[in-house]
């Protein structure tokens, strides 16, 4: 199974404080129909930080059921405690996930050796492919290229979601790891240039709103049609920027609500977007023919 292409970091739909499993199934169906190559369930965009462990596992299970093996479901299973990450790994495997996404431990700021041992323990605990996730802006923890290179020698560590937003960083990982590790952009704004240096896909927020366009960008790049890929890169730029004006995923859920696909509900400490941003999103969606 290949973990590559345009992969959506899917929101977790909510209604009146509870997870809306019917809306979740509908979102999965729409994403697949639009040509998306995979789904991340309960990643950062899926509000992993505010879901209980039972909810976390249920969302993965329902996503797997809705996907019906048509695309891989990558379960967000990360934690800043290795013991908790191992528990979520086992639960995700039992829920039927096809692969795992493991973020660097946040807040406690482990050393590079600590990071290596954390991910090594996870890899040894599961039969599933593991995708590393490095997002220093959120975790205050940076997984350096030399540590990624060490981890790439472990059989089932197959990829990294690089959300540093740094082209030199991704290039360094590609140079060190070659075909042993799939590099995925974790940042919509840099996926096109990362494709040009050898990244094999993106774990995308903006594809929650325009899955077909993000899939088309990857398909064009994979086919060597760089003019078309560049065109799609610029086509999603304005919308992608708006989705991060306020704390994600509130703007994404607001846009989906305007498209009548889910509610704008998020859980505290996240709050719905301001009226000003809502109007900007409405105008952008209207300009793009999405509402």
DSSP string, 123-177: HHH-SS-EEEEE-HHHHS----HHHHHHHTTSTTEEEEEE-S--HHHHHHHHHHH
Determine the Cα–Cα distance for residues 38 and 29; give it in Å rounded to an integer. 12
**161 flagged as catalytic:** yes
Nearest to 161 by CA among 253, 78, 62: 78
Name the catalytic one among 161, 195, 253, 286.
161
What are the CA-CA distances from residue 113 to residues 49, 144, 147 (Å)? 25, 11, 8
**21 flagged as catalytic:** no
Residues 6+ apart with CB under 8 A from 279: none
What are the CA-CA distances from residue 58 to residues 33, 51, 90, 134, 212 (Å)? 23, 10, 13, 25, 27
Name the catalytic one among 116, 133, 195, 253.
133
Q: Which two tokens stand for residue 76?
A: 């967000």
What 3-state DSSP class applies to 44? Answer: coil
Query: Token match 């472990």: residue?
Result: 154
What is the 3-state secondary structure of 210-275?
CHHHHHHHHHHHHCCCHHHHHHHHHHCHHHHHHCCCCCCCHHHHHHHHHCCCCCCCCCCCCCCCCH
Determine the Cα–Cα distance for residues 13 and 256; give it in Å rounded to an integer. 10
Active site residues: 133, 161
């Amino acid at each position: 199974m290949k973990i590559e292409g345009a992969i959506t970091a899917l929101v977790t739909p909510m209604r009146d404080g509870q997870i809306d499993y019917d809306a979740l199934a509908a979102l999965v169906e729409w994403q697949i129909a639009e040509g998306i190559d995979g789904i991340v369930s309960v990643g950062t965009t899926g509000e992993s930080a505010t879901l209980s462990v039972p909810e976390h596992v249920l969302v993965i299970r329902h996503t797997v059921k809705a996907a019906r093996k048509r695309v891989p479901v990558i379960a967000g299973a990360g934690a800043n405690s290795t013991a908790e990450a191992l528990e979520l790994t086992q639960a995700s495997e039992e829920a039927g996930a096809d692969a795992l996404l493991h973020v660097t431990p946040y807040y406690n700021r482990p050393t590079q050796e600590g990071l290596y041992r954390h991910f090594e323990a996870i890899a040894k605990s599961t039969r599933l492919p593991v995708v590393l996730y490095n997002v220093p802006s959120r975790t205050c923890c940076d997984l350096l290229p030399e540590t990624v290179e060490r981890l790439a020698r472990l059989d089932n560590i197959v990829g990294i979601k690089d959300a540093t937003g740094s082209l030199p960083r991704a290039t360094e990982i590609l140079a060190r790891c070659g075909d042993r590790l799939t590099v995925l952009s974790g940042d919509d704004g840099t996926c096109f240039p990362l494709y040009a240096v050898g990244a094999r896909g993106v774990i995308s927020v903006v594809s929650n709103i325009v899955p077909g366009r993000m899939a088309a960008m990857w398909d064009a790049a994979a086919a060597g049609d760089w003019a078309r890929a560049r065109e799609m890169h610029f086509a999603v730029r304005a919308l992608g920027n708006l989705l991060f004006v306020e704390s994600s995923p509130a703007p994404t859920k607001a846009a989906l609500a305007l498209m009548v696909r889910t509610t704008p509900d998020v859980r505290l400490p996240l709050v719905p977007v301001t009226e000003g941003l809502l109007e900007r999103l409405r105008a952008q969606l209207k300009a793009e023919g999405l509402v």
